[in-house]
Amino acid sequence: MRPKRVTLAALLMLSAPRLMAAVDQEQLVYDGGTSARTLPGYAVWQSFTAGATGTLSRIDMGFFNDMSGTARLSILEGEGTGGAELASLDVPVVGLTQAGVTWNAWSVSVPVDAGSVYTFRIVPDAATLPDPYGVAIGSASPYPRGIMGLDDPSGSYATPFDVVFRTYVDAGMYDVFRAESPQDVASLPRLIAQVPESPYDDAAAPSVPLLCYEVEDASGAPDIIRLSRLSSGAVRIEW
């Protein structure tokens, strides 16, 4: 690979993250359903505990039976609907009559902290969704880090169920390690920085996850820096 001349500072500044958000929480047991109402004051919510610190970037939720409409999705602090609203947006809701759930995927952008509890709530649009509409659930509270709840005109209350859902969190950073040779293993004492994923100048990543750069040190002397991906997902810097 032909070296590219850049300064080390420019190398780190130009590192644009190319990250795939990972599934953080999920509840995939589908052994029941609830006929949710579209009447005024009705809503369905699910609390969850974030497993990673970063940006909540997507929520998937399962439905059943034929439908096509919209709902208001809100993300709240804490368990239930009494916490501060962190985001709110209109989302499409689609369902099909089939053996499994119909997954609906909604893009969001909400900072979350590992170990903190959050709630997402669906308020249906009565003009576009049938009454009732089918929400896929798991009975007997299969998700241990949160709970499904319902709102109606009398108030908001938890249930012994969980909706079928997945959350995705983009942690946003990789650990970067300095190593004396490619055979060295990454270890905490060698941790020198946290930066986004190593940059690729080409449209596609090279077949071997290794980049070589010709860089200049503080005195202007040339040097070679190599970036390689570890099996753990971290990026290793060698020079």
Report whether 94 contacts 104 (CB < 8 A): yes
Q: What is the pLDDT of residue 170?
A: 85
State the pTM of this model. 0.68
Domain count, the chain: 2
Residue identified by tokens 């902290």 is 113
Residues 95 and 151 in one domain: yes
Neighbours of 197 (CB within 10 A): 20
Residues 114 and 38 in one domain: yes
Position 182 pLDDT exceeds 90: no
pLDDT band of 236, cuts 50, 70, 90: low
User: Could you tell me the maximum CA-CA distance found in the chain, to the nearest angstrom?
Assistant: 73
Residues 33 and 86 in one domain: yes
Distance from C-alpha of 83 to C-alpha of 11, rounded to nearest angstrom: 42
Residues 14 and 44 in one domain: no
Of all residues in the chain, the percent with pLDDT exceeding 90 is 59
pLDDT in tens, 149-175: 999 999 999 999 999 999 999 876 544
| Amino acid at residue number 50 | A
- Of 143, 170, 197, the residue at which a domain comes to its end is 170
**How many degrees, rounded to 5, is the angle at CA 107 between CA 102 and CA 113?**
110
The predicted model gives 166-191 an average pLDDT of: 53
Q: What is the pLDDT of residue 172?
A: 63
Residues 98 and 74 in one domain: yes
pLDDT in tens, 103-162: 999 999 999 999 999 999 999 999 999 999 999 999 999 999 999 999 999 999 999 999
Residues 84 and 124 in one domain: yes
Residues 87 and 140 in one domain: yes
Tokens of 73: 């999705």
Residues 116 and 185 in one domain: no
Residues 97 and 183 in one domain: no
Q: Which helix (H) or strand (E) holds 91?
A: strand 85-95
Residue 216 domain boundaries:
4-18+172-238
Distance from C-alpha of 75 to C-alpha of 162, rounded to nearest angstrom: 16
Tell which wins on pLDDT, 54 or 167: 167
**How many degrees, rounded to 5, is the angle at CA 120 between CA 117 and CA 126?**
160
Residues 40 and 90 in one domain: yes
Q: What is the pLDDT of residue 13?
A: 35
